[in-house]
Amino acid sequence: MKPYRQLTQLQRYQIQACEEAGLSQTHIALQIGCHKSTVSRELKRCKVGRYNAEVAHKSAIKVRRSSVKSTRFTPLLWQQIIGQLARDWSPAVIAGRVALERGQQSISHETIYQWIYRDKHSGGVSHRYLLRAYRGYRKRRKTHDGRGLLRDRVSIDQRPEAANQRLHIGHWEGDTIHGREGNLVTLVDRKSRLLNARKTSSRTKAEVGHKLITMLTAFQAKTLTVDNGREFYGHKDIANKANVDVYFADPYASWQRGSNENANGLLRRYFPKGTNFNKVSAQALRRVVEKINLMPRKLHNWKSAYEVHYGLSVALIT
């Protein structure tokens, strides 16, 4: 395979002469010694009228000078990447946030992966920061617990369009995470994806309801969408005291609360199944929630949930 070379100004004048003589792109390519696809791309440089070698050459030089150069590996840049990987950022998150904060001083996530694998082959351990580096998979089986629908529940079908379309901040999804000797109650704003979580010793409707009322009131929530778990039997009390409209997803339709399910998955990175929440302090939980809320998101053009929710800008790349 021949290496790619930029066309010279002389070759462009040859292309102009051949094109004016009515030769085909294949014949022009043979004349100047390049591939016909190169000729095809070159002829497209002049959008209006016939091909002009001088205009095309100036355009090519301008594009070449303004193009972003490939990022060179430096020990300082590598240490910065390691620091972000240690914060549980993926290469895609790092690349996206660097582009947002530094503009043309950007780096491709593919380049970061190449550097990680090169480090692994030389005996490094940076690949251990990757989320799925040593994560096993298991087949998920659908189970049925025989639960009926809650009394006086309001279906998600009646939820306002503003909540469905994520038009405004204030529409939340709620759930619980079960652990050994304790649980978490989680809330996620549908628009900003801001996460909030509190510990509970049990999953009774009284304790879960109390935590939800406290959190929803602090955020001045408009709506709450939950599943059909028994811990939400006190939904009418939650609606009255927190001044929110509570809606229930359809049974076995977790995708209807996808933001909350995703946030719970992020929390599970730090608190895997079987975690004894009795030994997890409120401060430790708060630090994890803050880390997740400050993690750049692709859906927010690499802004964090915290920045989107509060309309702020934070320098996350040091």
pLDDT for 102: 78
72: confidence class by pLDDT, cuts 50, 70, 90 = confident
Give the global pTM.
0.71
232-270 per-position pLDDT tens digit: 999 999 999 999 999 999 988 989 999 999 999 999 999
Domain ranges in the chain are 9-66, 75-129, 156-310
66: confidence class by pLDDT, cuts 50, 70, 90 = low
What average pLDDT does range 289-317 have in this prediction? 93
108-161 per-position pLDDT tens digit: 889 899 999 999 999 999 998 887 655 555 555 555 444 556 778 899 999 999
pLDDT for 22: 86
Would you list the DSSP string of 229-286?
Answer: -GGGTTHHHHHHHHT-EEEEPPTT-GGGGHHHHHHHHHHHHHS-TT-BGGGS-HHHHH
78-94 per-position pLDDT tens digit: 998 999 999 999 999 99
User: Chain-wide mean pLDDT for the chain?
Assistant: 87
pLDDT for 275: 92
pLDDT for 151: 75
pLDDT for 317: 80
pLDDT for 71: 65
Q: Which of 65-69, 204-208, 280-284 has the lowest mean pLDDT?
A: 65-69
Q: Which fold has domain 156-310?
A: Nucleotidyltransferase; domain 5 (3.30.420)
Name all contacts of 291-297 with Cβ < 8 Å and 24+ positions apart: 291/87, 291/88, 292/195, 292/263, 292/266, 292/267, 293/194, 293/195, 295/87, 295/88, 295/89, 295/93, 295/266, 296/89, 296/93, 296/96, 296/97, 296/100, 297/93, 297/193
